[in-house]
């Protein structure tokens, strides 16, 4: 593949409602959209790093810098032999920065597949033409407000509800949602590392609510703590931030630190490593599901394709476009009987709306290859 230009666009996407987690509150999604231009195609991807280093050590300004000054030069050194399959090895000498590496690999893979006419889903091994959609519900000001929000999402057709929790906002909202919407609601919680093993007895009070899982209750580097917690509560532990690679997944499973894994392609360095995590988990009988990072339609298209692989058993955070944005960067993803359709076109399978992209672009940097 002969790359001619790599373009970085800083984009500001207003959210339809504030999204609060234990990290803080977001009112817009700031993202770097990457376009890889080759002689034959254009590939698109978005960097999932947040504006601030709260979810992980990566943040958007640093990501742009490392892409420009450290990652792209290593890809340039590969020359015309470059393919998506070679990106990870070419960038391996640069420590960390998985989200920055992921956005480059994804954009290159999109261009590569568009050249051959293959879709993301077919390339990754999708077995379904649509995937069940869940929705992540942020922390709100009161339990009555939460119940109204959840009711609205269920009316829209979402098949699973995930509640963000933190100390002081856990038992009451979970109890209220379970009591209001009954035992058949697929319900799970996400703590985003807000607790410690000292809180085990308190977290065990969530067991009677028959949750699908408790996501990342403790710090990302505390695998032994999660393994100990898993022995003290009956709610299944799911790891998110702790899993950065297939090797991490194998280690966590072996230690008993989790029985479910949330796969976020950006967090693990791209969709090819995400597929390897899927395969490792499947070999151990551990189900996975696809997490979300408030993606625009560009990232959502690729996530939906990944979520169609066979071991993605649980509904993911692959919500419809209108969950986050009044206007998306692609044609909107819409719920159909609680599912999102897997794109079938070449590459990520969606077209970027250039007029919308231009209207939300704050700056553009072009790197000649």
Catalytic residues: 164, 264
User: What is the C-alpha to C-alpha distance for residues 22 and 176, in angstroms, rounded to an integer?
Assistant: 20
Output the DSSP codes for 142-183. -HHHHHHHHHHHHHHT-SEEEEE-BTTBSHHHHHHHHHHH-T
User: What is the C-alpha to C-alpha distance for residues 189 and 164, in angstroms, rounded to an integer?
Assistant: 6
Nearest alpha carbon to residue 93 among 104, 103, 101, 85: 101
Non-local (6+) Cβ contacts of 359 within 8 A are none
Give Cα separations from 235 to 45, 119, 132, 171, 177 (angstroms): 35, 37, 22, 14, 17
CB 155 within 8 A of CB 135: no
Ramachandran angles phi, psi of 47, nearest 5°: -85, 125
């Amino acid at each position: 593949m002969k790359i001619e230009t790599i373009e970085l666009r800083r984009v500001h996407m207003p959210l339809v409602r504030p999204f609060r987690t234990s990290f803080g509150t977001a009112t817009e999604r700031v993202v770097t959209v990457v376009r890889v231009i080759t002689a034959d195609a254009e590939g698109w991807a978005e960097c999932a790093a947040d504006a601030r280093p709260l979810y992980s050590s990566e943040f958007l300004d640093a990501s742009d810098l490392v892409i420009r000054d450290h990652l792209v030069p290593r890809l340039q050194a590969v020359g015309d032999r470059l393919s998506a399959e070679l990106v990870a090895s070419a960038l391996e000498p640069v420590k960390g920065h998985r989200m920055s590496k992921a956005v480059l690999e994804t954009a290159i893979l999109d261009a590569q597949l568009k050249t051959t006419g293959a879709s993301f889903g077919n390339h990754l091994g999708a077995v379904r033409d649509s995937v069940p959609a869940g929705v992540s519900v942020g922390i709100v000001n009161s339990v009555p407000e939460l119940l109204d929000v959840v009711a609205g999402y269920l009316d829209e057709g979402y098949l699973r509800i995930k509640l963000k929790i933190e100390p002081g906002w856990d038992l009451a909202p979970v109890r209220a949602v379970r009591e209001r919407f009954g035992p058949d609601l697929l319900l799970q919680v996400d703590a985003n590392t807000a607790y410690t093993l000292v809180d085990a007895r308190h977290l065990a009070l969530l067991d009677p609510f028959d949750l699908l899982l408790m996501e990342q209750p403790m710090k990302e580097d505390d695998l032994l703590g999660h393994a100990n917690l898993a022995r003290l509560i009956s709610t299944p532990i799911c790891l998110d931030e702790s899993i950065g690679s297939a090797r991490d997944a194998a280690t966590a499973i072996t230690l008993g630190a989790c029985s479910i894994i949330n796969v976020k392609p950006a967090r693990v360095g791209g969709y090819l490593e995400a597929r390897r995590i899927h395969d490792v988990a499947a070999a151990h009988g551990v189900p996975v599901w696809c997490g979300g990072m408030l993606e625009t339609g560009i990232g959502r298209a690729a996530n939906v394709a990944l979520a169609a692989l066979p071991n993605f058993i649980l509904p993911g955070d692959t919500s419809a476009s209108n969950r986050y944005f009044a206007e998306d960067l692609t044609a909107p993803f819409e719920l159909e009987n609680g599912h999102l359709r897997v794109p079938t076109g070449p590459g990520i399978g969606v077209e970027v709306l250039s007029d919308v992209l231009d209207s939300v672009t704050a700056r553009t940097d072009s790197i000649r290859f």
